């Protein structure tokens, strides 16, 4: 009986140490003893950058999503391409639309001066995403840390792991489920589209060539479509950007869900959350209760931040976030 109990405890302890399932080993306050000011340095760097350009906040939160969904939250999205490797950064889903890398570089440079070889790029990005939620939406939360940096970044893996904007609610559900995130977390995290911008090319099919019988997506408000057509001409040499949320474009808030109720979601993947019976009720709840949504957003960001992390002796602490050591 007693041996059985000891065995059970030993088994449970082993479970925690299985590589790959290492989210349990991330810890709040991870740098408390070896780089005390790490989180403050990052927060101040992010604050300064956002005060100059509010677009940095949505930029960094999106980089974080794109990091975590491809090879886990290991900073692989931060690595530059080389002559022998096209990195994630240069996938068409990331280049030219991801922005804010220079803020991560700046935080890293300061941290290398203050406590060299200690704070991973993956953790810097995780803290910076939290700080972006704080300055963009007053959403604050503790970030479990201890991620290590990956050494592999492959452009082709991006499209295999990140959902494209034309998916419907069912497909989005599957895409997030593959990363261990729930349907409610998918709807909650989509609320990040309450700030920042999108290039016209990510949704212009909804304005001009929806399908054989409907040139314009009937699930989009007509006035909204007319407005977007002025910003996104059918023929244009460049690819302009528009705000994802025209009501509060620089604020991370639950306005996004209210827009969906008025058929003013920008991407197909946004409006489908309102038009699909699978998620419609969640949209209504989030539209009604911004405090509940904010709290759910914080938890979902923490959960997303645990996807396939490297910990312990895995990976490395990069010296520069753009290059492997």
Residues known to be catalytic: 66
Cβ contact 72:181 at 8 Å: no
Query: Would the CA dihedral through 280, 281, 282, 285 be positive or negative?
Result: positive
Cβ closer to ligand NAG: 32 or 214? Answer: 214
255 binds ligand HEM (CB under 6 A): no
Cβ neighbours around 24 below 10 Å, total: 13
List binding-site positions: 67, 70, 72, 74, 76, 88, 163, 193, 245, 248, 253
Q: Kindly tell me which residue out of 47, 65, 179, 240 binds ligand HEM, with binding defined by CB under 6 A.
A: 65
User: Phi, psi at residue 23, to the nearest 5°?
Assistant: -55, -30
Cβ-contact 322, 87 below 8 angstroms: no
Q: Which residues are annotated as a binding site for heme b?
A: 193
| 193 lies in the binding site for ligand HEM (CB under 6 A) | yes
Residues across the chain: 325
Smallest gap from Cβ 112 to ligand HEM, in A, equals 26
Contact set for ligand NAG, span 204-233 (CB under 6 A) = 211-214, 218
Q: Distance (Å, rounded) from C-alpha 40 to C-alpha 112?
A: 14
Per CB under 6 A, contacts with ligand HEM among 122-181 are 163-165, 172
Known binding residues for substrate are 163
C-alpha separations of 307 from 8, 132, 134, 179, 259 in Å: 27, 20, 22, 7, 30
Closest approach, Cβ 133 to ligand HEM, in A, equals 9
User: Which residues would be at the binding site for ligand HEM (CB under 6 A)?
Assistant: 55, 58-59, 61-62, 65, 97, 99, 163-165, 172, 186, 189-190, 192-193, 196-199, 202, 244, 267, 269
């Amino acid at each position: 009986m007693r041996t059985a109990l000891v065995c059970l405890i030993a088994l449970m302890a082993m479970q925690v140490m299985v590589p790959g399932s290492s989210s349990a080993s991330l810890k709040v306050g991870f740098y408390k003893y070896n780089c005390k000011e790490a989180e403050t340095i990052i927060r101040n760097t992010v604050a300064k950058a956002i005060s100059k350009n509010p677009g940095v906040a949505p930029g960094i939160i999106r980089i974080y999503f794109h990091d975590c969904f491809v090879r886990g939250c290991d900073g692989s999205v931060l690595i530059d391409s080389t002559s022998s490797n096209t990195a994630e950064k240069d996938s068409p889903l990331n280049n030219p639309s991801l922005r804010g890398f220079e803020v991560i570089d700046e935080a890293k440079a300061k941290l290398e001066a203050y406590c060299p070889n200690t704070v991973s790029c993956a953790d810097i990005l995780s803290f910076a995403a939290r700080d972006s939620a704080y300055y963009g939406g007053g959403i604050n939360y503790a970030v479990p840390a201890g991620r290590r940096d990956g050494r592999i970044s492959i452009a082709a893996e991006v499209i295999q792991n990140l959902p494209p904007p034309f998916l419907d609610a069912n497909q989005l559900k599957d895409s997030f489920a593959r990363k261990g995130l729930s349907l409610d977390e998918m709807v909650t995290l989509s609320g990040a589209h309450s700030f920042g911008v999108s290039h016209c090319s990510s949704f212009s099919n909804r304005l001009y060539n929806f399908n054989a019988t409907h040139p314009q997506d009937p699930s989009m408000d007509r006035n909204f479509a007319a407005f977007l057509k002025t910003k996104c001409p059918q023929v244009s040499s460049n690819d302009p950007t528009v705000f994802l949320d025209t009501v509060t474009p620089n604020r991370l808030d639950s306005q996004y869900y209210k827009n969906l109720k008025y058929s003013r979601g920008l991407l197909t993947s946004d409006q489908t959350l309102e038009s699909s019976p699978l998620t419609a009720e969640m949209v209504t709840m989030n539209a009604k209760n911004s405090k509940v949504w904010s709290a759910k957003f914080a938890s979902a960001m923490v959960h997303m931040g645990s996807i396939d992390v490297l910990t312990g002796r895995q990976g490395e602490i990069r010296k520069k976030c753009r290059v492997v050591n």
